[in-house]
Amino acid sequence: MRALSLIVLLSAFAIPVAGCGGDDDNGGGGSSSGGSTTKESSSGGGGGGGGQTLKLTADPGGALKFDKSSLTAKAGKVTIEMDNPSSLPHSIEVEGKGMELKGDIVTKGGASKVSGTLKPGDYEFYCPVDGHKAAGMKGTLTVN
Q: What is the pTM of this model?
A: 0.67
Mean pLDDT in each 10-residue stretch from start to end of the chain (144 residues)? 43 40 38 34 43 97 97 98 97 97 98 97 98 98 97
CA distance linking residue 46 with residue 4, whole number of Å: 21
Which amino acid type is present at position 81?
Answer: E
Question: How much is the pLDDT for 61?
Answer: 94
